[in-house]
């Protein structure tokens, strides 16, 4: 018998992939955790039936959530990752010898434990000596911080379930407080394409731009996320992600990346007209 995994992208659209093997399922105190091996995308990690990452296309997400801010300010030393329990963002951050401290706040300890068991591809650098793990709600964690971080990466689930508070005004205000005077906030910013996520992405932009003098979005192409067209937010107190990009400085680091390059960095901030309009209306 054939086994297929289906995610509902909208009430009228479904995305289905053929499963080679069911690996693991568990209901944690926060969410349902699943790991599956698929023919096309390798190992798939899902929370509450929504794909968080797949082995084949996670490089796109993690390259772009990390290397874009790191190239915009080469002096980033202290980083906070909120969510991201699979370890993919941390893995990319550890490649910079200039980064001195990486704190990761993941609400669900079981996500980290399961990814250590079933996803070494992303979790392998969680034991780097610069990394400190906290199993707490990121919303609460950030509320007591003041001018501590050069970069905050919000690598979160969608705003349904435990990730909901990571998309609120109060949370973005606290991120602003927690960042140094030249700090950068990058966040998972939903998709502009289908109405269900487009409304979330507009609302998110509206909330972030209230607090940050520079608030932009940039795009990535992820085959396994709804519509394949996804956005990250880049909010900053000082650095403009395109004008302040020092191509030469980043390229001289000699980091090998499968998706990111400095030309794509600039190009990813060029948006389709319908997305520009949505952001203007937000």
Tokens of 125: 């650098």
* Least spacing, CB of residue 238 vs ligand AAT, in Å: 26
Looking at the Cβ atoms of 143 and 262, the one nearer to ligand AAT is 143
Give the range of 12-20, 83-91, 177-185, 213-221 binding ligand AAT by CB under 6 A: 83-91
For the record, the structure tokens of 142 come out as: 């950030």
Compute the least distance from the CB of residue 79 to ligand AAT, in Å.
15
Site string for ligand AAT, 183-212 (x = CB under 6 A): -----x------------------------
Nearest to 169 by CA among 209, 213, 141, 215: 209
Instruction: Point out the catalytic residue in the list 128, 155, 181, 244.
Output: 155
CB 207 within 8 A of CB 175: no
Q: Is 157 annotated as a binding residue?
A: yes
Q: Residue 47 Cβ, how far from ligand AAT at the closest point, in Å?
A: 6
**Can you name the residues that pair with 131 across neighbouring β-strands?**
102
Q: Is-contact 122 62, C-beta < 8 A?
A: yes
Distance of CA 269 to the CA centre of its chain: 16
CB of 215 to ligand AAT, least distance (A): 20
Identify the three-state secondary structure at position 203.
Answer: helix
CB 244 → ligand AAT: shortest distance, Å? 26
With CB under 6 A as the contact rule, the residue among 151, 166, 186, 278 that binds ligand AAT is: 166
Pairing verdict, β 149-155 and 131-134: unpaired
182 is in an annotated binding site: no
Site for ligand AAT, residues 99 to 158, rule: CB under 6 A:
105-108, 111, 137-139, 155-158
Q: Per rule CB under 6 A, is residue 224 in the interface with ligand AAT?
A: no
246 labelled binding-site residue: no
Q: Encoding tokens for residue 190?
A: 């939903």
Q: Is 86 annotated for ligand binding? A: yes
**Rounded CA separation 50/160 (Å):** 11
The rounded distance, in Å, linking the Cα atoms of 45 and 42 is: 10
Question: Coil, strand, or helix at residue 62?
Answer: helix
**CA–CA separation, 26 vs 220, rounded Å?**
30
84 touches ligand AAT (CB under 6 A): yes
Secondary structure of residue 94 in the 3-state scheme? coil
Question: Is there a catalytic annotation at residue 117?
Answer: no
Taking the C-alpha atoms of residue 146 and residue 229, their distance in angstroms, rounded to an integer, is: 34
Binding residues for ligand AAT, rule: CB under 6 A, are 47, 50, 52-53, 61, 82-86, 88-89, 105-108, 111, 137-139, 155-158, 162-163, 165-166, 188, 225
Indicate the annotated binding residues for S-methyl-5'-thioadenosine: 31, 106, 137-138, 162
Which residues line the annotated binding site? Answer: 31, 62, 86, 106, 137-138, 155-158, 162
**Which residue numbers are catalytic?**
155
């Amino acid at each position: 018998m054939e086994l297929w995994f289906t995610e509902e992208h909208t009430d009228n659209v479904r995305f289905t992939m053929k499963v080679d093997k069911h690996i693991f399922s568990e209901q944690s105190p926060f969410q349902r955790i699943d790991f599956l091996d698929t023919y096309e995308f390798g190992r798939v990690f899902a929370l509450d039936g929504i794909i968080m990452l797949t082995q084949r296309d996670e490089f796109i997400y993690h390259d772009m959530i990390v290397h874009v801010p790191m190239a915009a300010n080469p002096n980033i030393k202290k980083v906070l990752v909120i969510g991201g329990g699979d370890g993919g963002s941390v893995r990319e951050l550890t490649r910079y010898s200039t980064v001195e401290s990486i704190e990761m706040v993941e609400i669900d300890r079981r996500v980290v434990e399961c990814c250590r068991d079933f996803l070494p591809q992303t979790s392998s650098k969680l034991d780097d000596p610069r990394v400190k793990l906290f199993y707490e709600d990121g919303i609460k964690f950030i509320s007591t911080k003041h001018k501590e971080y050069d970069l905050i990466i919000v690598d979160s689930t969608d705003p349904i379930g435990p990730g909901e508070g990571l998309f609120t005004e109060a949370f973005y205000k606290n991120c602003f407080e927690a960042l140094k005077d030249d700090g950068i906030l990058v966040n998972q910013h939903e998709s502009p394409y289908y109405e269900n996520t487009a409304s979330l992405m507009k609302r998110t932009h509206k909330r972030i731009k209230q607090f940050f003098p520079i608030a932009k979005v940039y795009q990535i192409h992820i085959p396994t996320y709804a519509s394949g067209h996804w956005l990250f937010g880049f909010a900053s107190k000082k650095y403009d992600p395109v004008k302040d990009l020092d191509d030469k400085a980043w390229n001289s680091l000699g980091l090998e990346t499968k998706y990111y390059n400095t030309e794509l960095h600039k190009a990813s901030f060029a948006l389709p007209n319908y997305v520009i309009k949505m952001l203007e209306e937000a």
